[in-house]
Amino acid sequence: MRKILYGSLAVIAFAGSAAGWHPQVLQARPALPLGPVTVADSVAVRAPAFQRGIDVDAYTYPKLDFSAAAAAVVGYVKTLHANSLSISFPFFMKDRRSLDVFATAATPTPAELGVLIDDAAHAGLFVSVRPLLSEFQIGGNRATWRPAPLHKWFVSYRRFLLPYARMAQAHKVGMFFVGAEFTQFNRTTLWNRLDRALARVYHGRLAYSNNGGANLSPSTGGLHAIKTVDAYPAMNRYFLHGWKAFDRRMPRRAIITELGIAAFDGAWRAPWQHRPGHHRFDPRVQARWFTAACHAARATGMRGIYFWALGLLPNLPPTPRHPASWANSPGAAAITRCFKRR
């Protein structure tokens, strides 16, 4: 589903528009020193009974102090009373017909992600790591796109993922996602081959993010991957009733790995849209949506819920009048109130 790009305005400005920005392949980039936290000092945090989660949309950008941004994000997430952090890192393709995937300067290196992971783990947060294909270059929605031939794309994708999987093992990451929102090919047996390759270097839990609850089966994303859901359901004004109905259609003890909505009146009719028409800015919509989703997840026995998303910034100022932000807003206050309930 084409969803809102939550995250910092700095990240949005760096990414630019689909027409105006062209990724450059990352050929060589110095590894970020791990500072006072070394791989040997990495800690393993067990999955909580209920994952009170925040998503990080981890785009890097020029002059970013990654260590400072990592510390700021983890510190802010702790103020929300979260116990889990999901880190999505972008990867790219030249265009929708390409069979090669690659990192750019906007993609954190494995060493950089290790710094954020260790900061989060030392703060007691359960950590997930998830690759997320940029939609700019494929001209639209991940969920409606399919590479051809599939097996050649998977060869490139596996090559890209393996260094991140090795890093995830070294830093004791709790869950590593093999993919997200590839609805048009999420049942191919090629996922099983990818799962086996990753499992040889990463010994934790593999997972796959499905686009909503449709087309979700035991084979989705591979037989070895835990199934989670990115949730942007349209509904009416009765948010709590709508979220309970949505959750009850999910597999038992499912995890919602993404949930967000624009801070605009009427956004509940299409919560995946960045700005729903010319509707009035209203941050109360986010607060009500987040509150209802969080209460419903607990009431229906879900295993966790993650709110999309924070960007990488060395500080997190009060959110501007921007639909794609909720940090330090009524939405953030709603997350905190719900997460305080143990």
Report residue 17's pLDDT band, with 50, 70 and 90 as the boundaries.
very low
Place domain 9-339 in its CATH homologous superfamily: Glycosidases (3.20.20.80)
Mean pLDDT over each residue of the chain, to the nearest integer: 87
Where do the domains of the chain lie? 9-339
Full-model pTM: 0.89
What are 61's two structure tokens?
Answer: 């950008």
Q: Are 279 and 265 in contact (CB under 8 A)?
A: yes
Report residue 10's pLDDT band, with 50, 70 and 90 as the boundaries.
very low
Three-state DSSP string of the chain: CCCCCCCCHHHHHHHCCCCCCCCCECCCCCCCCCCCCCHHHCCCCCCCCCEEEEEEECCCCCCCCHHHHHHHHHHHHHHCCCCEEEEEEEEECCCCCCCCCECECCCCCHHHHHHHHHHHHHCCCEEEEEEEECCCCCCCCHHHCCCCCHHHHHHHHHHHHHHHHHHHHHCCCCEEEEEECCHHHCCCCHHHHHHHHHHCCCCCEEEEEEECCCCCCCCCCCCCCEEEEEECCCCCCCHHHHHHHHHHCCCCCCEEEEECCCCECCHHHCCCCCCCCCCCECHHHHHHHHHHHHHHHHHCCCCEEEEEEECCCCCCCCCCCCCCCCCCCHHHHHHHHHHCCC
Report residue 42's pLDDT band, with 50, 70 and 90 as the boundaries.
confident
Max CA distance (Å), the chain: 52
pLDDT of residue 20: 33
pLDDT of residue 39: 65
pLDDT of residue 290: 98
The mean per-residue pLDDT over the stretch 13-19 comes to 31
d(CA 210, CA 223): 14
**For residue range 183-239, what is the model confidence (pLDDT) as tens digits?**
999 999 999 999 999 999 999 999 999 998 877 888 888 888 899 999 999 999 999
- From the list 69, 76, 105, 91, the residue with the least C-alpha distance to 177 is 91
pLDDT of residue 1: 58
